[in-house]
Structure 1
C-alpha cells in the first residue's frame, strides 16, 4: 500500500541553535570529520570548557547528529554533506537577521497598520476615500478633455 510522503518526512526542527555550545561542537566535528575526538580534545580546540563539551556531546548523540565510540565522538561520513548544509543554513539565517537595517519599516511594531489592504472588503476608510478622489479627478479630466475636443 502506498504511503503518503507527508508521513515519511521529518517535521522536527534542527535541534541546534546558532551561537550555542551544540553549534560550536558540531561545527568543529563537521570541519574535522576525518577524525574522532574526546570531549577534552573538543574543549581544547573550541571555546567550550570540559564539562560543557562533555554535556554537549551527550546532547548531540541523543539528537542523532553525532556518533560515539567509547569516549570518542565523530560525524558519520554519510552525514557530513547534510550537516554541512544545515550549518550553512543556520549561518545564512544569522547573517540575514544581522544585515537587517534598523530603519526597516517591517522591523517596527505595528507596521502593517500603515499599509492599506488590497482586499476591497477590508479597505480602510482612508484608502477608499483616496481611491474615490482619484476616480473623481480622472473623470473630471476626461470630461474636460471631451468638452475641449468638441470646441475644436
Structure 2
C-alpha cells in the first residue's frame, strides 16, 4: 500500500530561536565548519561566557544539530549547507518582522468592522 511522503519525512521545527545563545554557537560553528572547537574556544570567539557556551552546545548536541568528539564540537560536512540555510531562514524571518510597520491596522481590535465585506450578498 502506498504511503504518503509527508508521513515518511520528519517535519520537526527548528529548535533554535533567533538571537539565542544556541543560535550564536551554531552560527559560529557553521561559519567555521572546517574545524571543531571546545566550549572555551567558542566562548573566547563569541559573546558567550564558557558556562553559557557549554549549555548552548549541549542543547545543540541533544537536538542533533552538531556533533561532539571528546570535548570538541563540530558540524558534519554533509550538514553544513542545511544548517546554513536554516540559519539564513531564521535571520530572514527576524528581518521580516523587524520591517513590519508598527501602525498595522490589523493589529487593532475591531479592524474587521472597518473593512467592506467581499460577500456579494452583503
Give me the TM-score of the superposition, normalised by structure 2: 0.91
Say whether residues 1:39 and 2:39 are aligned partners: yes
Structure 1 unpaired stretches of 5+: 122-127, 129-152
Runs of 4+ in 1 over 4 A off after TM superposition: none
Structure 2 unpaired stretches of 5+: none
Quote the Cα distance in structure 2 between the aligned partners of 1:51 and 1:68.
17
Q: Which residue is equivalent to 1:13?
A: 13
* Residue 120 of structure 1, CA deviation: 4.3
Q: Whose Rg is larger? A: 1
Q: Which residue is equivalent to 2:93?
A: 93
1:105-124 paired onto structure 2 within 5 Å: 105-120=105-120
**By percentage of residues, which structure has more helix?**
1
Q: Which residue is equivalent to 1:63?
A: 63
Say whether residues 1:80 and 2:80 are aligned partners: yes
Quote the Cα distance in structure 2 between the aligned partners of 1:120 and 1:87.
45
Quote the Cα distance in structure 1 between the aligned partners of 2:65 and 2:6.
22
* Residue 28 of structure 1, CA deviation: 0.4
Query: What's the secondary structure of 1:68's corresponding residue?
Result: strand
* Residue 117 of structure 1, CA deviation: 2.8
* Residue 104 of structure 1, CA deviation: 2.4
